[in-house]
């Protein structure tokens, strides 16, 4: 990464058609409280976020995934991020699933993921963080 990119950040973060970040939201009371109490997990890429959730034992059925854009938050369907057994997909399978879904539906929140070409998110850090 060049010095300029280190200072201004990844080029893909300036593409308004892509989320600048992904967020996972988990109700730590699992619906048992009067109101939900959320933990949030974040990453610049959905594949990095899912990897982080998987490594921390957070099951797909407990998660709401969002693409965070400038001024809006769009939910992603976790069904496109899991295998037939309901387990998180890893790279490159997650990339393939999201790429195929975008090709079929053109739903903007799935744009930019590519398994065998240069991904629109290749310039981003895949390190997840949380809970926040």
Please indicate, yes or no, if residue 92 is contained in any of the structural domains: yes
Mean pLDDT of the chain: 84
What average pLDDT does this structure show over 8-37? 80
pLDDT value, residue 92: 86
42, part of any domain: yes
**Residue 67: inside a domain, yes or no?**
yes
Check residue 6 and give its pLDDT. Answer: 56
Q: Based on the structure, what is the number of domains in the chain?
A: 1
Helix 93-105 vs helix 46-55: angle between axes, to the nearest 10 degrees? 140
Q: pTM of the prediction?
A: 0.82
pLDDT at 44 over 70: yes
Separation between Cα atoms, residue 76 and residue 64, nearest integer Å:
8
User: What pLDDT is stored for residue 8 in this prediction?
Assistant: 53
Q: Is the pLDDT of residue 83 over 80?
A: yes
Range of the domain at 52: 12-110
- Decide if pLDDT at 96 tops 70: yes
**Structural domain includes residue 88:** yes
The verdict on residue 119 lying in a domain is no
C-alpha 98/C-alpha 132 separation (Å) is: 26
Whether 6 is covered by a domain: the verdict is no
pLDDT at 118 over 80: no
């Amino acid at each position: 990464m060049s010095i300029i990119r280190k200072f201004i950040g990844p080029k893909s973060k300036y593409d308004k058609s892509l989320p600048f970040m992904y967020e996972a939201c988990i109700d730590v009371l699992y619906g048992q409280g009067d109101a939900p109490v959320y933990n949030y997990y974040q990453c610049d890429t959905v594949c990095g976020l899912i990897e982080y959730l998987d490594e921390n034992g957070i099951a797909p059925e407990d998660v709401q995934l969002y693409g965070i854009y400038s001024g809006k938050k769009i939910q992603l369907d976790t069904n496109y991020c899991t295998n037939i057994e309901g387990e998180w997909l890893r790279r490159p399978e997650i990339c393939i699933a999201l790429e195929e879904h975008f090709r079929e539906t053109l739903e903007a929140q799935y744009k930019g993921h590519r398994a065998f070409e240069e991904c629109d998110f290749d310039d981003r850090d895949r390190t997840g963080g949380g809970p926040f």
